[in-house]
Structure formats: C-alpha cells, structure tokens
Structure 1
Amino acid sequence: MTRQHRGMKTRHLIVRTAAEVFCERGYHGTSTTEILTRSHLTRGALYFHFDSKQQLAETVATVPAELFVPPDGPVVLQCLVDFSLAHADRLATDVVLRASMRLSAEHGSGCSQDAALHEVKLRAVLLRLLQQAHSAGELVPGADPLEVTDVLMGFFTNVQPYWAKTTADLTHRLATLWRYLLPSIATAELLPRLRLHPGPAPQPARPGPGEEATVAMSGSVG
C-alpha cells in the first residue's frame, strides 16, 4: 500500500467517524477526543489531515453537487418524486450525508456559510421542480409550490431520530407521505400515471379511454 493510499484511507476513516459522532451529538457535543477514540487514530494523524474540528465539520457538511441534480423526464412531478426518494435512500444509508443534514439543520454550527448548505440546496431543488411542475400544468389550481416545499422539507429536517443510525424505512415513510400528498396536488389526468417505485417513466399525455385502469399497478399512486 502506497503512502498516498494509506493517507486517503486514514482521511476517509476520520471523516466517517466524525460523521457518526456529529450525527449522535451535533457539532457542539462532538469532541476530537471521541473521534480519535472511535477511530483508533492518533491526534497527529487527525491534525495532519484537518487543522481543527471546524474544518472537519465543513468537510462533512459539504455535499457533492451531483447529489442535488434531479433526474430528467417528461413529467416534472415524477422527477421530483424520484429525486426525493433517492435522497431519502441516501440519507438512510450514508452516515456522512446524514451528518451534513444535521450540521445544516443546526444552522451551520461550526461551518462556513458555503459548507453548511445541505438544507438550503435541497429546498432549492424541491422548490424549482415544483415551480416547473406548476408551469407545466401538472399541479391542481391552488397548489402552492412554496407550501408543498415546506411540507417536504418538514419531512427531511425532522428525521432527527434517525440521524444517529441507519434506517431502512426512511424511504418507505417518504413514499407514504407522497401517497397522501400527490392526490392533493397532482391533476386528475396525471395522478394515475405517477409511480412511487422504479419503472418506466410516465408520459405527460392525457391517458385515453380505459387506459387509466392499466396503470393502477403496485407502487403507483392512482
């Protein structure tokens, strides 16, 4: 193993261990001593890669930009559903992503303004997709993109009980929310064509006579 490879493994171990502690205790409740104890590393190894707890928190809080790129598709609401479920799945399985969400929910405690943007970026993607769905005529009259965004963000920012552990049912809980929310915001023509599981992308065209009965499959909304 080369020195560079060992250094990368050590850095990865520090970030993951720090994320676990940030998830459990938040920024102010986390100490570098506990991170070192759990990772079985020396203080010298930690400070070789990170100057301070703040710099370590900023590294954890910085989410790759590609995680905020929604999928493409002919139906904007379906892209929104797919993006949100994928993000929930990542939160359920990735402790670093959960830690970044907690640090963001703590209003960037210990982080620079640029790093603590998980919550801000997620809200921006959800709102933009809902505004596009509204412009595309996919929302019923009276469905406010901003209010729907607030409902969805309420789900993501209130997963505090799950921050410190992997939770297999987080995606299922969001799918359940969508099952009750979509009938309130999606047009009657579009609703039966939306799905809450991977599958062929729905088309924006209005279903023909008798077609709606064929799309009420497992995982679909209608």
Structure 2
Amino acid sequence: MTRPRQERAVRTREAILRAAAEVFDEFGYSAAGVSKILQRAGVTQGAMYFHFKSKEDLGRAVLVEQAAALALPEAPAGLQQLIDMTLFLGFELQRDVLLRAGVRLAVEQGEAGLRDFTVYHMWIDRFRAELDAADERGELLPQVDAAEFARVLVASFTGTQLMSDVESGREGLPAQIAVLWSYLLPGIATPAALARLVVDVERGRAML
C-alpha cells in the first residue's frame, strides 16, 4: 500500500512541476497564477501545497530542477564534448519546457522574488568539468583559466539564448551557438586542438 501511494505522490509532484513550467514559460512568473497551474496540472490546491509551500517555492523548484531530465554525458571529455553539449542544450531549449522555464526564471529572478545563484553554479561547474578535462588533454592555451572561462561561457550562452528567444523563439539558437564558438575557440584552444575540433549543429542534434 505504501509504495503505490509513494508512486502516486511522485507522479502528482511531477505533474505539478511540469504544469508550473508550462505556465511560467508561457506567461512569466508574475502572471502565472496558482489557479492556472492547478488547472493545467489537474490537481487540487491541497495536493499542490502538500508538495510546494507557495508559488515562490514552486518557482524555485522549476529553477533548480530545470536540467533534471536532461541526458547529459556523465564523464567529462574535453572541448569537443563541451561544444556538443552546448549545441544539444540549444535544441533542448526548443523542446524541453522545464529547461526553458527554468532558464526564464533564472533570468527573471528579480520579478519572481528569488535570489538564487544555485543553477548558475550548476552550469558553471558542469562546463568547468569539461574545461578541466580539456586542460588535462592539453587542449587549452596556457593563459586560459578554466574556472573563469566557465563563467564567461555560461554568461555568453545565457545572452545568446535570450537574444534568440526574442528574435525567433529560439528557432535559430543552435546555429547561433555555433557562431559563438567560432569566436570563442581561437581564444582558448591550442592550434592542435583547434584543428581537430568540430563545431557542427548536427552533432548537437544527434545527442537528442
């Protein structure tokens, strides 16, 4: 009896989280009323407050769990994997509503009443792991600071996807990420690494 109840609770939480992501993505945090989320999830107010204490709590969950369902590579492998991963994220932002809503909330934290840098730390750490692997493989120029560039990359990626959203609903995002890399790579990669690295949108699509 306990296990079916637990499984039902997990499904209910997932339904609420996805509904909240859809509403946050569509309307933004301020216009995302709890009633809209409950209607979209098909649950009662009591069910929501069992899992989330408030709309702010729900927004923080979407923010922090934005990448929970992503199939990212488990082991760092260097610059090629980092390039492919960012292209993959470009495609995922077109189709994954939890990721998209989480990114929107990360950018609109002031409006949402949140001050949470956790998700930025998460992406900085994930990108830095690939950069550390690249450094061990001799792919980075001597002057490159992996921790510093990881922050630069997260900031650059965030700005690129925001501009793409405004311009085309992120339709051209993967191609714009490829252009971003064409300018960034000469500043961080050794000539030998640069000669073998491939910036190909289709490699990112293949990770889907």
Q: Match for residue 137 of structure 1?
A: 138
1:79 is aligned, of 81, 100, 106, to 81
> What is the match of residue 14 of structure 1?
16
Counterpart Cα distance in 2 of 1:86 and 1:106: 23
Q: What TM-score do you get using the length of structure 1 for normalisation?
A: 0.66
The CA deviation at 1:120 is 1.4
User: Which residue of structure 1 lines up, in the alignment, with residue 206 of structure 2?
Assistant: none
Aligned-residue offset at 1:138: 1.0
SS of alignment partner, residue 189 of structure 1: helix
Contact persistence 2:90–2:174 (CA under 8 A): yes
Task: Say what the alpha-carbon RMSD is for the aligned residues.
Answer: 3.7
Distance in 2, Cα, partners of 1:6 & 1:169: 39
Q: Which sits farther off after the overlay, 78-87 or 127-136?
A: 127-136
Moved more, 19-28 or 121-130: 19-28
Deviates more, 1:118-127 or 1:21-30: 21-30
2:191 partner SS: coil
**Which stretch of structure 1 is more off in the superposition, 170-179 or 129-138?**
129-138
Per-residue deviation, 1:6: 7.3
Following superposition of structure 1 onto structure 2, how do residues 25-104 of structure 1 map, counting pairs within 5 Å? 25-39=27-41, 42-47=44-49, 49-63=51-65, 67=70, 70=73, 72=75, 76-104=78-106
Q: Point out where structure 1 has 5 or more consecutive residues left out of the alignment.
A: 200-222
- Residues 191 and 143 from structure 1, CA distance in 2 versus in 1: closer, same or farther, beyond 3 angstroms? same
Asked if 2 retains the 8 angstrom alpha-carbon contact of 1:23 and 1:95, the reply is yes
1:183 lines up with 2:186 in the alignment = yes
User: Which is higher, the Rg of structure 1 or of structure 2?
Assistant: 1
2-side partners of 1:83 and 1:174: how far apart? 11
SS of residue matched to 1:167? coil
CA contact under 8 A between 1:70 and 1:80: conserved in structure 2?
no
Partners of 1:40 and 1:166 in 2: how far apart? 28
- 1:117 maps onto 2:122 in alignment: no
The code of the aligned residue for 2:94 comes to: A
Q: Determine the structure 1 residue equivalent to 2:158.
A: 157
CA distance in 1, matches of 2:133, 2:109: 28
Q: Greater CA deviation, 123-132 or 19-28?
A: 19-28
Q: Which moved more, 1:117-126 or 1:133-142?
A: 133-142
Equivalent residues of 2:25, 2:101 under 8 A apart: yes
After superposition, what is the alpha-carbon deviation per residue over 1:83-142, rounded to whole angstroms, capped at 9, x for unaligned?
2222332222111112222333345955696xx622210011212322332343212243
Cα deviation, residue 31, structure 1: 2.1
Question: Gapped runs of 5+ residues in structure 2?
Answer: 204-208
The one-letter amino acid of 1:122's match is: W
Counterpart of 1:177, as a letter, is: L
What is the Cα deviation at residue 192 of structure 1?
A: 2.2
Kept in 2: contact 1:27–1:110 (CA 8 A)? no
Q: Does 1:193 align with 2:189?
A: no
Q: What amino acid is aligned across from residue 188 of structure 1 in structure 2? A: P
* Identity percentage of aligned residues: 38
* Structure 1 residue 71 displacement after superposition: 5.1
Distance 1:150 1:190, change over 3 A: same
1:170 lines up with 2:173 in the alignment: yes
Secondary structure, counterpart of 2:29 in structure 1: coil
